[in-house]
Amino acid sequence: MNDQKFAVWAPDAHAVQLQLGPDRLDLAARDDGWWELPESARPAVAGEPTVDVDYGFIVDGRGPFADPRSRRQPAGVHALSRTFDASAHIWHDEGFTGRQLAGTVIYELHLGTFTPEGTLEAAAGRLDHLQSIGVDFVELLPVNAFNGTHNWGYDGVLWYAVHEGYGGPAAYQDFVDACHQHGIGVIQDVVYNHLGPSGNYLPQFGPYLSEAAGNTWGSSLNLDGPHSDPVRRYILDNALMWLGDYHVDGLRLDAVHALRDASATHLLEQLAVEVSALSAETGRPRTLIAESDLNDPRLVTPREANGYGLDAQWSDDFHHAVHVALTGETTGYYADFEPLDALAKVLTHGFFHDGTYSSFRERTHGRRIDLERMPTWRLVVASQNHDQIGNRAVGDRLSSQLDSGQLAIAAALTLLGPYTPMLFMGEEWGASTPWQFFTSHPEPELGTATATGRISEFARMGWDPDQVPDPQDEQTFERSKLDWSEAVEPAHARLLGFYRELAVLRRAQPDFTDPRFDQIAVEFDAAAGWLRLHRGGTKILINLGAQSTQIPAGRGDILVSFATSGEAVQGRLPNALLLAPHSVVVLA
């Protein structure tokens, strides 16, 4: 690695040294706050071009600390960094031209629990399965380096490094390459709103953290204060690293509502500009998806119309409306979604809270979407995802309380509804394994604080704190791993077959990728328990009730159907169908 520059930003330091093996070399200060090796010292550290070396930085006598831009941490986040040459990988994805988000299906997975091995290599071995259910993008939960052996990924402290337990950066490149050879894009979940509680040495180098603002998970990043330009550059360069060096096709931006930025050009807008430039330069689409609690369409409004210019954002309202319609749960933030017309509004207007009163927040929330100008695919929706499962008291999936017909209804609403669908790993066969909140903090005090804080989070949802599993217990992690043997069992295989039918239907029927809100209509009868969703000339008929019900159907052939009992349609009357309990039928 003779091209390693060994430079670091430390604007307030009086002296910075490079720890390189047993040697300590003095770095020279530049006027912009960066420190680098003097020209005279560079030949001494060149070494063999194919040999990676361990190194760190000593700041005013403290350290050595890992490089803030470290690409590898083979001994953990408290140890020295190791050089890594991303350009050494020989790519085999020349035939992959990328994917636009419109019309696609996303599959969210956590590498540590997706397979028994919990590695990138093992996940690549399941790509044929993902192809079979119509997946266009794999969305990986955060993979950046964190302290410990396993967690969800949101406690990362070295954003440029790939967690060694997953295989490290070279295995990451292999995984992306394999996905592209299967025609599948990769979206990487990134966290720019906070850092984890252990191994965050950024404050030792400079003012990376805001002194004025914090959020639920810790200190906010310094995005608009003194010395914030290099901090913003730290984030922007990280995003471009994933999209460039690792050929990633998109980023899911975690909790952007926690990014505190009063700059004239918000960080998200600046990111959108630079990613658009990279996309134009490489000739491949690059997608930015925001997770936001704001219900604010400004995020995905084009920059020309004074928006931030992101490509899409999550809509949790869709999840809440579907969840309540199927489970009947109305505690906490589910309360406002109890009437069936909440689901109807979400299906036709994108958000339920679009300037309406939120009883959970105790204030007016959200803003209306411009239905004439915004395409429906800009909203990413799911009936299950890592948050909505893992942040339940026991991490229980829908399969723990719904029958197969109800699970099929959730699948149809998600995959055939008007928005960009996202599936959560294992939902396609109704996985019975939970997905719980797990951590592996080596520090006992952090483990105790995490477990205690976890219990207090559930007070407003009305869940029993005695049922909350200990995040630090190894079995909490092991229980959360998918059991792939379930997928071939008859009941699970039947649901999996339905998902595959929906994948084929979604691609064959243009109505299901029509991006216009004016091609969507919903009728329902809350008392009878039925709902009819129109996607252009195609109709999705749903019986949410536990009794057979007659649904106005009109003309059309049955394209696909599913019911708990097996046969969804029990009889046909003039312009109506008699639907079995908990069933869904698609007509065209």
Please check whether residue 565 lies inside any domain of the structure: yes
- Are 114 and 37 within one domain? no
Please state, for a pLDDT cut of 70, what percent of the chain lies above it.
Answer: 96
Q: Are 520 and 376 in contact (CB under 8 A)?
A: yes
**Positions marked catalytic:** 254, 291
Instruction: Tell me the pLDDT of the chain averaged across its residues.
Output: 94
What pLDDT was estimated at residue 46? 61
pLDDT in tens, 550-564: 999 988 999 999 999
What pLDDT was estimated at residue 447? 84
Q: Which residues are annotated as a binding site?
A: 252-257, 316-320, 386-391
- Are 490 and 570 within one domain? no
What pLDDT was estimated at residue 1? 39
Rounded (to 5) percent helix, strand, coil in the chain? 35, 20, 45
What pLDDT was estimated at residue 571? 85
Closest among 223, 188, 191 to 209, alpha carbons compared: 223
Q: Are 224 and 263 in contact (CB under 8 A)?
A: yes
Q: Which residues are annotated as a binding site for substrate?
A: 252-257, 316-320, 386-391
Q: Which residue has the tokens 């950046």?
A: 144
Of 504, 531, 559, which marks where a domain is finished?
Answer: 504
Distance of CA 233 to the CA centre of its chain: 23
Per the model's pLDDT, the better-predicted residue between 139 and 454 turns out to be 139
In this prediction, residue 457 has a pLDDT band, given cuts at 50, 70 and 90, of low
Please state, for a pLDDT cut of 90, what percent of the chain lies above it.
Answer: 88
- Are 121 and 233 within one domain? yes
What pLDDT was estimated at residue 532? 98
| Containing structural domain, residue 576 | 515-587
Of 504, 529, 564, which marks where a domain is finished?
Answer: 504
Straight-line distance from the first to the last Cα atom of the chain, in angstroms, rounded to the nearest whole number: 61
- pTM of the predicted model as reported, rounded to 2 decimal places: 0.96
- Are 290 and 399 within one domain? yes
pLDDT in tens, 67-111: 999 999 999 999 999 999 999 999 999 999 999 999 999 999 999
What pLDDT was estimated at residue 296? 98
Strand partners, 365: 356
Average pLDDT over residues 119-123: 98
Q: Are 450 and 481 in contact (CB under 8 A)?
A: no
Average pLDDT over residues 245-272: 97
Determine the residue type at 359. S
- Are 443 and 562 within one domain? no
- Are 209 and 324 within one domain? yes
pLDDT in tens, 138-154: 999 999 999 999 999 99
Return the CATH number at 279.
Answer: 3.20.20.80
What pLDDT was estimated at residue 170? 98
Of 484, 504, 524, which marks where a domain is finished?
Answer: 504
Please check whether residue 351 lies inside any domain of the structure: yes
For 465-582, strand residue ranges (E) read: 520-525, 530-535, 538-543, 549-552, 558-563, 569-573, 576-579
Q: Are 192 and 259 in contact (CB under 8 A)?
A: yes
Please check whether residue 3 lies inside any domain of the structure: no
- Are 28 and 168 within one domain? no
| Residues with Cβ within 8 Å of residue 31, at least 6 apart in sequence | none
Residue 499: pLDDT over 90? yes
- Are 437 and 291 within one domain? yes
Residue 45: pLDDT over 80? no
Please check whether residue 361 lies inside any domain of the structure: yes
Please check whether residue 94 lies inside any domain of the structure: no
In this prediction, residue 573 has a pLDDT band, given cuts at 50, 70 and 90, of confident
- Are 223 and 249 within one domain? yes
Please check whether residue 467 lies inside any domain of the structure: yes
Average pLDDT over residues 143-166: 97
- Are 384 and 458 within one domain? yes
- Are 54 and 199 within one domain? no
In the chain, the number of structural domains is 3
Return the CATH number at 569.
Answer: 2.60.40.1180
Please check whether residue 90 lies inside any domain of the structure: no
What pLDDT was estimated at residue 2? 41
Give the Cα separation of 209 and 205 in Å (integer).
Answer: 11
What pLDDT was estimated at residue 217? 75
Q: Are 207 and 155 in contact (CB under 8 A)?
A: no
Please check whether residue 227 lies inside any domain of the structure: yes
Residue 43: pLDDT over 70? no
- Are 331 and 203 within one domain? yes
